[in-house]
Structure 1
Amino acid sequence: MPVYAHEKEFPYLTGEQNYPEADFTVEGGLVAKLSSLFPNEAITVGKPLKKLPDDGSIPGLAGWRWIHTPGHSPGHVSFFREKDRALIAGDAFIAVRQDSLFQVLTQLPEISGPPRYFTTDWVAARDSVRRLADLQPSVAITGHGPPLSGETLSSGLQKLAADFDRVAVPDYGRYVET
């Protein structure tokens, strides 16, 4: 079975390069402090690895398109279906803050930027969130937290896009530009 990925993600999927190490020094709660224990090793997908088509289509998923949404990783992509405005955002933004143990345990929905301890490019992350907000999705599934829809999604995503530098970018950390 083919595994499609953005070409900038290939080094991590061919075993050539590990993902950047987690930033346990980043501003955040207990989960951020424990992040150095999380795996970041490359994997080797092998022959099934295929480059996503340049036209934005997704083989086998008619009506869906992929959107390059870097920041959390260089080749991060999100998926969008125009007909019902459905979005699979991955970790471009998330529905439960991951650096707070309380929020991870309670799973209370709160639209947040990508996980702080594994996001290496905050400028790209901000641009990606703004690109996704411009789509005005009706429903979103993120890499962390419950699916979102309605006012929770629309107002939360617009607020995150408008205030990204203040609410998502940590005050300090290895990958934060000062």
Structure 2
Amino acid sequence: MQVAEGVQGVTLGRGFPASNVYFVRSGDSWALIDAGWAGDAGAIRRTAESLFGPGARPAAILLTHIHPDHSAAAGELARTWEVAVHVHPDELPMGSGRYLPEFDMPLDHWVVMPIMRLLPAGTRSRIEAAGDITDVIRGLPPGGAVPGLPDWEWIAAPGHTPGSVAYLRRRDGVLVSGDAILTVDPNSVSGILSARQKPAGPPWYSTWNRRAARESIAALAALTPRVLAPGHGYPVAVGTAEVLQALADDGRSRRLRMVDRLLVRVGDPRADRYRPPPRLYARLQWLGHALTGLGLSPRYVVTLEVPGRRSGVLRRTDLVRAEHGGQDYLVSLTGESEWVRNVRAARGRVVLARRGRRQVVTLVEVPTPDRAPVIRSYALRAGRRLGSSAVSREARAFFGVGPDLAVEEIATVADRFPTFRVVPDPAHDP
């Protein structure tokens, strides 16, 4: 199949086990990306000759990763063509064909290795030797240069394996993704049986690190490719960037929706007077008090003690103390909360407690126009970095603003988040 200018793809096999290899031309030379199963060497050579003429030989064999459906024929082809097989340097140990615990994945751990241990030692050695490509394997050059393809670059996409890579031609946005991104669904029974076309991540049962794999999907989506050439499934050439961004957002949003339902308000905080926290969060307040009292919670967490404005009964609430401009502040994420109204009734006179130490302070409410920089410092507390997943999540879930935490944007919602400056009163420490 013609994938893009100078890029031909071939699907080897049928159904779900079928995998794709790509013949990529660059000037007068060409390279092979991925090499299929062990029995596919003959079909790959015949295809190469039909495309490039009798005796055609690539400048290099390039692997997206070392798994038998993408690399098993690489050794035979490399020795026949007398060329090297290139992989990410982190992938080099896998070239021995032996099981390595540090590269363990569920399928190896629970299926392949138990079967291998039942085999006679000689049979096992022959299987491992057949997969050994250490004599022809080389690490990809640093900096993204691709041997044989000067107009391409390799992009690290770890997760499916430690050294998974994708190959990108920036001038027209062609991305060969290997198993980092597929267009068939390997993670459901219906997807495997029907081989229906659907953007998906790699199969979890053959993936080394699922979290890293999800992060690689997001990183590849951020490249906004125009053409996707996956390791399994058909290429995508229409709306590719949007499809990949939806895939990246879907994985992230599922995780965040679960966390948000349990612990934080979901989505844009509305202009309600009071937005009660989720029930689970409220029920776990006692645990927060205990951890803060023992000094086991983060250093910036304190327990606010203030009398109830009607009952006079002491109320305790765990809060984050943020620093801005050399002073400490408390921010109410839930708006006109109970503790905010109790503090106002007490004219700001409260106690902050942590690890058995109780300090009398006065909380001075910050005027709305001055709150935005303080709220930004709250989200960036304790050395958090702008752009990190934790900061981006809190910006969205707590304050309903973008991940860049622009002060101008925060200022548009600052009236919803009462903010207090902490003024210590050492003379009245109890």
TM-score, normalized by the shorter chain, greater than 0.5: yes
- Give the superposition deviation at 1:105: 4.0
Question: Structure 1 or 2: larger strand share?
Answer: 2
Query: What is the rounded CA distance, in whole Å, between the counterparts of 1:121 and 1:96 in structure 2?
Result: 20
Residue 119 (structure 1) aligned with residue 194 (structure 2): no
- 1:6–1:77: 8 Å Cα contact kept in structure 2? yes
Corresponding residue of 1:175: none
Higher relative contact order structure (alpha carbons within 8 Å, sequence separation ≥ 6): 1
TM-score, normalised relative to structure 1: 0.77
- Give the superposition deviation at 1:167: 5.8
- 2:105–2:207: 8 Å Cα contact kept in structure 1? no
Q: Which amino acid aligns with 1:162?
A: D
Equivalences for residues 159-174 of structure 1 within 5 A: 159-165=246-252
- 2:105–2:208: 8 Å Cα contact kept in structure 1? no
- Give the superposition deviation at 1:149: 1.8
**C-alpha distance after superposition, 1:62-110 (max 9, x if no partner):** 2110011000000101000001100000011111011334323433211
Aligned-residue sequence identity (percent) comes to 33
- Identify which of 133, 140, 152 aligns with 1:64: 152
- Identify which of 155, 158, 165 aligns with 2:242: 155
Question: Structure 1 or 2: larger helix share?
Answer: 2
Equivalences for residues 3-152 of structure 1 within 5 A: 3-18=85-100, 19-23=103-107, 36=111, 43-151=131-239
C-alpha RMSD of matched pairs (Å): 2.9
Structure 1 gaps of 5+ residues are: 25-34, 169-178
Query: What is the rounded CA distance, in whole Å, between the counterparts of 2:227 and 2:254 in structure 1?
Result: 22
TM-score, normalised relative to structure 2: 0.34
Change (3 A) 1:166 1:144: farther
Query: What is the rounded CA distance, in whole Å, between the counterparts of 2:96 and 2:157 in structure 1?
Result: 21
Tell which deviates more after alignment, 142-151 or 35-44: 35-44
Change (3 A) 1:77 1:52: same
Q: Which amino acid aligns with 1:93?
A: I
- 1:11–1:17: 8 Å Cα contact kept in structure 2? no
| SS of structure 1 residue aligned to 2:248 | helix
Corresponding residue of 1:172: none
Structure 2 gaps of 5+ residues are: 1-82, 117-126, 256-430
Q: State how many pairs are aligned.
A: 159
Q: Which amino acid aligns with 1:154?
A: A
- 1:21–1:36: 8 Å Cα contact kept in structure 2? no
